[in-house]
Amino acid sequence: MRATAGSLVGLAAMTSVAFGAAGTAPLDTSASPHSLPTYYLRGYYKLDTERPVWQDSDEAPWSQVKTNEPWVNRRIVKWGYVPFTHNAQNYYCLIDKGPRTGSHVNDVTFLCGDPESVQSLFIQNNWRPNIPLIGGGAELESSLRPRTANGN
């Protein structure tokens, strides 16, 4: 019985290391209505053209902001974009938190752009980003930390 309990504790510890990072807030924001999550990202897909490109992030946090901030366009938020600040700059991000095609493992991917770029791409062109899963592009990467130095 002790061996089974020990195995379950070890499995739970490995799972928490594999799927999240210390200091990374859960994706569910319903826990506290007054606090919004903060994320520490390895990187994100930059939305400034019709083909998002992977960008490494720094150690600075990505903090979600309330939708009543003066710079937030509610029309963009209505379509799934989440307002964030990072290094004193404003961003809109789409958060993809589902499993990849053919997988049962949930992964989190952030697609972020500055307000001007997102408004231009989305409002003027009625465009929502689409990352190809195969062919012609880099492998889809998870945004959440941690990753080892060798990329695994």
The pLDDT of residue 62 is 96
The pLDDT of residue 19 is 37
Would you say 36 and 43 are in contact if contact means Cβ atoms under 8 Å apart? no
The pLDDT of residue 68 is 94
The region that residue 111 occupies, defined by phi over 0 for left and psi between -120 and 50 for alpha, beta otherwise, is: beta
Q: Give the pairing type, strands 109-113 and 43-46.
A: parallel
The pLDDT of residue 41 is 92
What is the C-alpha to C-alpha distance for residues 76 and 73, in angstroms, rounded to an integer? 6
The pLDDT of residue 39 is 92
Tokens of 20: 């999240």
Three-state SS for 126? coil
Q: List average pLDDT for each run of 10 residues in the chain, which is 152 residues long.
A: 48 39 41 75 87 89 95 91 96 83 74 92 71 51 61 50
The pLDDT of residue 147 is 52
